[in-house]
Structure 1
Amino acid sequence: MNIELWWPKLTPSTRVGLLENNGDAVPPQVVAEVTRAGGSAAIDSDSEESDYYLSDEDVEWIETVTNEEEPTEGLILSKVRRT
């Protein structure tokens, strides 16, 4: 499922955490929430660690949102207010 579909199902605190730590390893509780929402995270096969990461496409989409640009798909986003 595309991130545009599962992103709005995440809690606001999870969305902020993913925005602020984009590209970093995803904590187990966030992996569980992303999976419940319809997304996925995978173990980095190039790393000796067993950390989970979002896909390159999801990381790019989040970076686009962080920079307040419109994603290439042109879909309306569920924006997160950062305080």
Structure 2
Amino acid sequence: MDPSTQQWLINNNGDVVPSNILDQITAVAGTPTADASWVGDSAPGQFFLSDEAIDWIEETANDEVSEDE
């Protein structure tokens, strides 16, 4: 993903993901499916990342290493 997308994810972590950002995520992670770990609750016209993905973004933004790594 380009740096501006990465920064958007950091600055807006937990917010509705706009389609242009989702397009970049799916280019890397593939089409979102219900069992994908990064897919959260969504409503028509709105896409959210999972709590796991939100936590990972926060850890990455803060240069933290998770206990799983």
TM range (shorter): 0.7 to 0.9
CA distance in 1, matches of 2:11, 2:41: 20
TM-score with structure 2 length normalisation?
0.72
> 2:14 aligns to what SS in structure 1?
coil
| Identical amino acids, percent of aligned pairs | 34
Give the equivalent residue in structure 1 for 2:63.
Answer: 68
Which stretches of structure 1, 4 residues or longer, exceed 4 Å deviation after superposition? none
Q: Compare the two structures and name the one with the higher strand fraction.
A: 1
CA RMSD of aligned residues (A): 2.0
**C-alpha contact 1:23 1:54 (8 A) present in aligned 2:** yes
In structure 2, list runs of 5 or more residues that go unmatched: 33-38
* Bigger CA radius of gyration: 1
**Structure 1 residue 65 displacement after superposition:** 1.6
Give the equivalent residue in structure 2 for 1:37.
Answer: 28
In structure 1, list runs of 5 or more residues that go unmatched: 1-9, 75-83
